[in-house]
């Protein structure tokens, strides 16, 4: 049990994490740090946090600091935090990219107090209102560069995530970013692109609303995600995202060629090959 836990960012991930920390008895008091007073006020109203403080005051007061903000803001904020912490505090991030942040933390005098994580969960919604109970149950959490963190700090973080119902995967930062590009980042780009395609070609919004079925809704759902969060992720993981995007474009060209040539056998072959995903995702 921590007396004071600070969440830096009071949105979907951090807000859900704060609820879970209280629910599972890991925190008595949750302190929120946000760029905007409106977000702080909403988080207070929703009971996600017990008080709102400036970053430096919140860090000095806390035993455990959880950072879940857009990845382009994470490095300067983390540097501020790491300059302030003692060897009794634990700092955890929840960012969707790991290489750039871990590289920035290399050589910091307090590096061992930092545990790099990525809970693999999210929705298309953002802000304090998006936070939900039991968000992380049944999901994976990646811990990167475990060997560079204090063993006791890692054990505590592992205990928390497992109590939240997560299973833990260990990866170096580069491997994490490659796999995240394949299973998460490309899904968002595809969804954004599909939404733009439909908005460009289908000029009647009523038709989109009336005719869109479950398949379209599930595929395009991620297009409602916050660009302020996802644009920095794409840019930080640019090389890996470009690699998987080039392969995705290649696959789309195969479907296009099959249709252009009226090649039913090839079209079926492409879809049957895709069906192999059933072995992995039920």
Please report the DSSP string for 103-129 in residue order. HHHTT-TTGGGEEEEEE----S--SGG
Given CA atoms 238, 239, 244, 250 in this order, what sign does their dihedral have? Answer: positive
Structure confidence at residue 220 (pLDDT): 87
Spatial contact of 177 and 237, defined as CB atoms under 8 Å apart = yes
| In the chain, where the domains are located | 2-171, 176-279
Residues 6+ apart with CB under 8 A from 59: 6, 65, 80, 81, 84, 85, 89
pLDDT, tens digit only, all 282 positions of the chain: 899 999 999 999 999 999 999 999 999 999 999 999 999 999 999 999 999 999 999 999 999 999 999 999 999 999 999 999 999 999 999 999 999 999 999 999 999 999 999 999 999 999 999 999 999 999 999 999 999 999 999 999 999 999 999 999 999 999 999 999 999 999 999 999 999 988 887 777 676 666 666 677 788 899 999 999 999 999 999 999 999 999 999 999 999 999 999 999 999 999 999 999 888 777
Q: Residue 146's pLDDT is what?
A: 97
Superfamily of 176-279 according to CATH: 6-phosphogluconate dehydrogenase C-terminal like domain (1.10.3660.10)
Residue 63: C-alpha distances to residues 2, 69, 195 (Å) = 6, 19, 43
Count CB atoms within 10 A of the CB of residue 158.
18
Provide CATH code, domain 2-171: 3.40.50.720
Task: Give the largest Cα separation in the chain, rounded.
Answer: 67
The separation between the first and the last C-alpha atoms of the chain, rounded to the nearest angstrom, is 37
pLDDT reported for residue 207: 67
Please give the DSSP secondary-structure letter assigned to residue 184. I
Radius of gyration from C-alpha coordinates of the chain: 21
């Amino acid at each position: 049990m921590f007396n004071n836990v600070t969440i830096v960012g009071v949105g979907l991930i951090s807000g859900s994490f704060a609820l879970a920390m209280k629910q599972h008895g890991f925190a008595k008091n949750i302190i929120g740090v946000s760029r905007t007073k409106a977000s702080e006020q909403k988080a207070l109203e929703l009971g996600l946090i017990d008080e709102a403080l400036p970053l430096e005051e919140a860090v000095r007061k806390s035993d455990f600091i959880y950072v879940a903000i857009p990845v382009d803001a994470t490095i300067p904020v983390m540097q501020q935090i790491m300059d302030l912490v003692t060897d009794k505090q634990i700092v955890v991030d929840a960012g969707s990219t790991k290489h750039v942040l871990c590289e920035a933390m290399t050589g910091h005098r307090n590096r061992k107090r930092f545990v790099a994580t990525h809970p693999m969960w999210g929705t298309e919604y953002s802000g304090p209102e998006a936070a939900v109970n039991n968000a992380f149950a049944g999901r994976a959490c990646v811990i990167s560069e475990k060997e560079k963190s204090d063993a006791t700090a890692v054990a505590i973080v592992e205990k928390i995530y497992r109590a939240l119902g997560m299973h833990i995967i260990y990866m170096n930062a580069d491997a994490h970013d490659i796999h995240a590009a394949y299973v998460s980042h490309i899904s968002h780009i595809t969804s954004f692109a599909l939404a733009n395609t439909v908005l460009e070609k289908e000029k009647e919004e009523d038709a989109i609303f009336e005719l869109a079925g479950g398949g379209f809704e599930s595929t395009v759902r991620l297009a409602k995600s916050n660009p302020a969060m996802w644009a920095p992720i794409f840019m930080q993981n640019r090389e890996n995202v470009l690699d998987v995007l080039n392969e995705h474009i290649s696959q789309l060209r195969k479907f296009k060629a099959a249709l252009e040539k009226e090649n039913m056998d090839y079209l079926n072959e492409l879809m049957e090959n895709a069906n192999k995903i059933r072995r992995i995702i039920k």
